[in-house]
């Protein structure tokens, strides 16, 4: 007698196949160089936002000190 499979096993297998297909399609459409450029651009924009936030916070603290005098 054959052991029956659980529904969750079938779902997890389908998910695994879907993930593999998704990753393969993404790698096919975007070359490694394009991925590096995208990652670099995203990092640069987030880095600029962080720097700007620190600068703004410092200015606000300085203004609060001046207002407190």
Predicted pLDDT of residue 61: 95
Model confidence, pTM: 0.38
Predicted pLDDT of residue 28: 74
Q: Please, how many CA atoms are within 13 Å of residue 66, restricted to the half-sphere of its CB? A: 6
**Distance between CA 50 and CA 14 in Å, rounded?**
40
**Residue-range domain boundaries for the chain:** 7-68
**Distance between CA 31 and CA 33 in Å, rounded?**
5
Predicted pLDDT of residue 54: 93
**Distance between CA 14 and CA 67 in Å, rounded?**
63
Predicted pLDDT of residue 2: 60
| Per-position pLDDT tens, the chain of length 69 | 566 666 677 778 888 888 888 888 877 766 666 767 877 887 888 888 889 999 999 999 999 999 998
Reading phi first (left if > 0) and then psi (alpha if -120 to 50, else beta), residue 4 is in: beta
């Amino acid at each position: 007698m054959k052991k029956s499979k659980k529904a969750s096993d079938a779902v997890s297998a389908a998910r695994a196949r879907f993930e593999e297909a998704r990753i393969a399609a993404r790698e096919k459409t975007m070359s490694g160089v394009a991925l590096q450029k995208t990652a670099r651009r995203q990092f640069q924009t987030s880095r600029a936002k962080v720097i700007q936030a620190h600068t703004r916070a410092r200015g606000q603290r300085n203004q609060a000190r001046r207002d407190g005098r």
